[in-house]
Amino acid sequence: MSLNKLPILLFMLCAVTAAEAAPLKVSLLLGDTHSKAAVEAVNAIRQEHPELNEVSFRVYPSNGIRNRDLIHLQESNLIIILARGRQLFDSISPELKQAVNTGAKIYSVGETSGEDFKKAGIIPSAQLNEYFHAGGMENLENMLLCVLGTDLGFSFTCKEVKSIPEIGIYEHQTKSIFKTYDEYQKALPEYNKNKPVIGIVFYKSSLDSGQTKPVDALIDSIEKAGFNTLSVFGYPSESAIENYFLDEKEKSRVRLIVALGMKIGVNASTSIPLLTRLNVPVIDAITLYSQTREEWEKSASGLDIFERAWQMALPELAGIIQPTIVASKEKSIDKETGAEFVEELPIAERIQRLTDRVRAWINLQDKPNKEKRVALMYYTYPPGKQNIGASYLNVLPESLFLILDRMKEEGYYAGNGQLTKELLFDDVFNHGRNIGNWAGGEIDRLVRTGKPILILLDEYKQWFGELPDSLQKAILKDWGPV
């Protein structure tokens, strides 16, 4: 061999040795919801399989991914990406292309990978998708071990998927799942049949991803308030509701439903007949989709227009009321590895707010109609004489009269005298109009009738002082000092 060729050969041998010594890199992009379970799965693998200590794992939450270090992603040997929608794929397509060009295998899980994914070299895997769809930390761990064995040469086999029922009853203290109501009742150590039962419905994905802290907090708070809970999951939510909230005689087992689910895919044509059979209130409990608590509290609009549509408007069309934020998405750091993930965390005072609403509804159900105090709200803006209506509908007197007349039939107190359309019109027009501050004489006349409820200034100041500081500042900015 020529001595001139020896340096080239040595250089090639060194390059090969360095490449062999480089650690294998695996990147997981399973979305924010599953990032917590993915981090737990990686931690379990590191503890149970020391031979994988040289493998570099990285879990990437979706939110703000362009602000993260993506070098590990583009240098990865193996990538698993959630193909549910295009947003995540579009955000990191340059890095995925770089990884494919250097020989990476990229598999997709989820249900909506399309032609663009295939053109990018992303392979839909039915086998890995079974693990992902079944959900839970253990299935994600086995999914990783399976693909490490099939693609990266490790001696792991693909274990059987451990599935969770598509619908079921959830017991939060033991994390047990029950397929039937009878099984659930038999397993309960204590169950006070005299307590009202509050139904809670949530998505199976919360179990799959290990994101149960919001539902657990709701259960604890409602039970602490003196109620039993019956927590069910499934998709569509109507399936779980029909299976578990109605007994064999078509009678509701619950007095009220708290719906963490019943948003995606909710269909008024099926939910309204079902909820009519139950004949109980359904409160809309909302976990913020992408915002942290701080972002939501500082936002001028609260929920963005996208969330207002599917978290509030669609449920309301299906008969679900009183939207109440109860949890947020928060960035968390794994103490052992420093890995970042997104966690759904309950907001304590909002959980209490919803619990208070539950208690108020049950009290209202137990109170005789004649003792209930009901406020009827109608449109009366802008200030003026001809301002009572709503898009030119016949609010006064027809609509208000029909409502009050029906309420009297149902036993509500609506005055001792005979109710007529003429009397109702005169009463509302003379005493229930929004009078402009320019009409001082009309305001004075109204006050002297004794009909309006007057509030003492000191009492008003006390109420105002109980508002959050941010709200007080906003009111003072727009309306000036009290």
Give the domain CATH number at 139: 3.40.50.10490
CA distances from 135 to 2, 51, 77 (A): 60, 25, 24
Three-state SS at 193? coil
Domain check: are 93 and 228 in the same one?
Answer: no
In a domain, 479, yes or no: no
- The pTM of the full predicted model, rounded to 2 decimals, is 0.79
Tell which of 335, 366, 397 closes a domain: 366
* Amino acid in the structure at residue 365: Q
CATH number of the domain that 240 lies in? 3.40.50
Domain check: are 438 and 348 in the same one?
Answer: no
CA distance 168 to 173: 16
Domain check: are 260 and 396 in the same one?
Answer: no
Helices assigned H by DSSP within 49-113: 71-74, 87-101
Count other Cβ atoms within 10 Å, centred on residue 230: 20
Domain check: are 40 and 130 in the same one?
Answer: yes
Contact between 212 and 206 (Cβ < 8 Å): yes
Domain check: are 328 and 212 in the same one?
Answer: yes
Res 310: pLDDT: 92
Domain check: are 331 and 185 in the same one?
Answer: yes
In a domain, 284, yes or no: yes
Domain check: are 250 and 344 in the same one?
Answer: yes
CA distance 31 to 61: 6
Contact between 84 and 108 (Cβ < 8 Å): no
Domain check: are 442 and 338 in the same one?
Answer: no
Res 226: pLDDT: 95
DSSP code at position 396: I
Q: Which tokens go with 458?
A: 């000191």
Contact between 81 and 97 (Cβ < 8 Å): no
Domain check: are 266 and 388 in the same one?
Answer: no
Tell which of 366, 386, 401 closes a domain: 366
* Amino acid in the structure at residue 260: L
CA distance 234 to 206: 10
Res 386: pLDDT: 65
Tell which of 98, 124, 151 closes a domain: 151
In a domain, 473, yes or no: no
In a domain, 476, yes or no: no
> Residue 395 sits in which domain range?
375-451
Res 9: pLDDT: 47
Query: In this structure, are strands 321-333 and 340-346 parallel, antiparallel, or unpaired?
Result: antiparallel
In a domain, 78, yes or no: yes
In a domain, 475, yes or no: no
Domain check: are 67 and 182 in the same one?
Answer: no
In a domain, 470, yes or no: no
CA distance 149 to 446: 83
Block means of pLDDT (10 residues each) for the chain, length 482 residues? 49 44 86 91 93 91 88 94 84 92 92 76 91 91 95 93 92 92 84 88 91 96 96 93 95 97 86 94 95 91 90 92 96 82 95 98 96 89 70 80 93 87 86 82 88 92 93 90 84
Res 15: pLDDT: 41
Q: How many distinct structural domains can be found in the chain? A: 3
In a domain, 66, yes or no: yes
Count other Cβ atoms within 10 Å, centred on residue 313: 13
Domain check: are 424 and 325 in the same one?
Answer: no
Domain check: are 278 and 397 in the same one?
Answer: no
Count other Cβ atoms within 10 Å, centred on residue 275: 22
